[in-house]
Structures are given as structure tokens and as C-alpha cells.
Amino acid sequence: MNSVLPPLFVSHGSPMIALEPGDAGRFMRRLGDALDAGWGRPKAVLAVSAHTTARESVLLGGARHEAIYDFGGFPPALYQLRYDASGDPALAAAVGAALGVPVIDHGGLDHGIWTALRYIYPEADVPVVPLAFDPQASPATLMALGERMAALSREGVLILATGSITHNLRLLFRPNGAGQRPEEKSPEMPESAAFRGWMAERSAARDWDALADYRRQAPGAVLMHPTDEHLLPWYVAAGAGGREDAPLRLHEGVTFGCLGMDAYAFGPQAGALAAQLEKETAPV
């Protein structure tokens, strides 16, 4: 068994991924199997999601977490799904003290967390500690926060960041040439492909300065991310992985032609996880 867990970023896309896994859901199921095979079960998941934000970083130290349905207008079946996991108040307190981050006695998993975890750990048998972050913080600030969390990866804690590698919901309602909205399997917009490719290329080059300055340097950045919050968790996980090893794209994909579903691993064990994933073929 490997001793250092690789910090992760996964794109969760629409809440409907919980009912319709698609390629990203199938990948996340394989991801859970690969982590089990190579690292065993973590003692906890420290979750950083685009949908759990606050005016300052804060840890949710509740003893129990339930799925939060922080969305509207979806089929009734989606609201019937549950993901009930234990928290870890002691770990939250220890991490809060180490990071200088307050801890509140509060529980709940936003859809960015529970839709991913229901594929990675479907039995909900791993404690979860959510970390809210300031969505106005810069990528560099959140990388520094992640760097302060790096020791957790050596202590059996899986750092799981969730968001979307591209995220502009207005584009989901754009009409095409025939006056129709894009379908799930619509061809990818050139701007989306360019942005995802830039992230992968700059990651492989360990171009941390460019990555932190993505809004000015990446092609189509403002179109793909009108606001930052769905990409910012990527930087927390990247910081936790460290700057010596290149972020590694484990999965790439897109839905509705513009909603990127890429996933990344960080740190010295990213390559080992990629190799383990090649051995896993578990269906959803």
C-alpha cells in the first residue's frame, strides 16, 4: 500500500450526475476502486467544494453530515437520493488548529461533495470534513492554503476538491443554429476545448505562475468561468500536492458542449494513481 494519498480535483457538473453518471460518474467509481486498491480506505475525506463557501475559511466539524439539495427544478427522484456520512469533530479540531481556521459545529454536504462521493465511496463509510473557502480569494491564496494542508495526505486523509474545469451555466441555454439548446452529447465549443487544453498543458509544464493568473492568460477564461468559484478548489488541491510534481489530468470530458468534466491528481503519487486506474474497469 502507498502511504501518501494524492490530493484530487474532480468536476461534478450538473446535480443530475447523481442519477445519470455518464463518463465522469463511471470514472469516479473507478477512482474509488483505484484508491482502495492502492491506498486502502482513508481515515477521512477533507472536502473542498465550489458550493461550500464563506467569507473566510471555516471547517464544518459536525458529527454527522447529510446530503443538502442546494438546487431546484430537477426531477423528484434526485431529491430522494441520500448520502449520510459521519463527520470527524476531532480531526476538524486538529486541522483547524494547524491551519488557524475556525471550526463550527455544523454538518451537511453540498451537491458538489455528495454527488462525487456517492460514486467514489458509495457506502458512505468514510468520515467527511468539509472546508468552506472564500470565493473571493485568489488562486495563489488558495494554493497557499492547500500547501498548509499537505501533511494531511501523509496522515491518511484524502483531500478531495470538487468543482468544474469549465463552468458557465448560461451557455447551457444558448440556442444553436437550429434554435435548439445544446444536448448532453453536443460537440464541444472551441473555447471550452482551448481552456481545458491550456490547463492540462500548463499543468504538465508546472507553470504555476500562469495557472495562478489563469483569468488573464488562459484562452476563453472569462467565458468559461464568469466567476471563479468552480475552479478555485483546483488550487487548494494543487497546493496540497506541492509544486515539485506536475498536476496530472486523470480524466477529460465535456457535457452539453461547454461543461468540462476533467479530473486531476496532484503530488508525488499522481502517477501511481493513474497507473492503478488503468487496472480498474468497475462499472457503475
* Mean pLDDT score, 23-47: 97
pTM for the complete prediction?
Answer: 0.95
Q: What is the pLDDT of residue 175?
A: 59
Domain 8-277: which CATH number of 3.40.50.10470, 2.160.20.70, 3.40.830.10, 1.10.260.40: 3.40.830.10
pLDDT 10s digits, 138-166: 999 999 999 999 999 999 999 999 999 99
Residue type, 271: G
Is 257 within 8 Å of 174 (Cβ atoms)? no
CA distance 160 to 215: 23
Query: Can you give the residue ranges of every domain in the chain?
Result: 8-277
pLDDT 10s digits, 209-240: 999 999 999 999 999 999 999 999 999 999 99
Is 164 within 8 Å of 111 (Cβ atoms)? no
* Mean pLDDT score, 83-87: 97
CA distance 126 to 88: 10
